[in-house]
Chains A and B, each alone.
Chain A
Amino acid sequence: MITNLPEDLYLLVIVALLPLSAIMLTVQVNPYNALVIRGILGAVAALVYSVLGAADVALTEALVGTLLAITLYAVAVRSSLVMRVGVLTAEVEADPEKFEAIYDQIRAMLSTRYLRLKVLSYETRADLDAALTVKELHGLCLRSPSPQPDQPPYELTIRLRSLHDLLSTELPHQTPPLTHLIPPSSTDTPAKSS
Chain B
Amino acid sequence: MNLLLIAMTLILLIPLYEAWQDDDIWQKMLAFASVASKTSIMILCISVLRDDWMIGVVGVIILSVGNAGFMLLAHLIKRITLQ
**Chain A residues within CB distance 8 Å of chain B:** 2, 5, 7, 9-10, 13-14, 17, 20-21, 24, 30, 32-33, 35-37, 39-40, 43-44, 46-47, 50-51, 53, 55, 58-59, 62-63, 66-67, 70-71, 74-75, 78, 116, 118
Would B66 and A43 count as touching, CB distance under 8 A?
yes
* Interface class of chain B by DSSP: helix
When distances are taken between beta carbons in the complex, the residues of chain A under 8 Å from B57 are 55
Chain A residues near B76 (CB-CB < 8 A): 71, 74-75, 78
Interface centre among B20, B54, B65 (most CB of A within 10 A): B20
Bound together, the chains give a CA A9 to CA B16 distance in angstroms of 21
Supposing A9-B6, A71-B72 touch, asked if A58 and B35 sit within 8 A by C-beta, the answer is: no
- Does B77 sit within 8 A of A, measured CB to CB? yes
B window 45-83: CB within 8 A of A: 46, 54-55, 57-59, 61-62, 65-66, 68-70, 72-73, 76-77, 79-80, 83
New A-B pairs, 4, CB < 8 Å, besides A36-B28, A40-B19, A51-B46: A10-B1, A10-B9, A17-B9, A71-B76
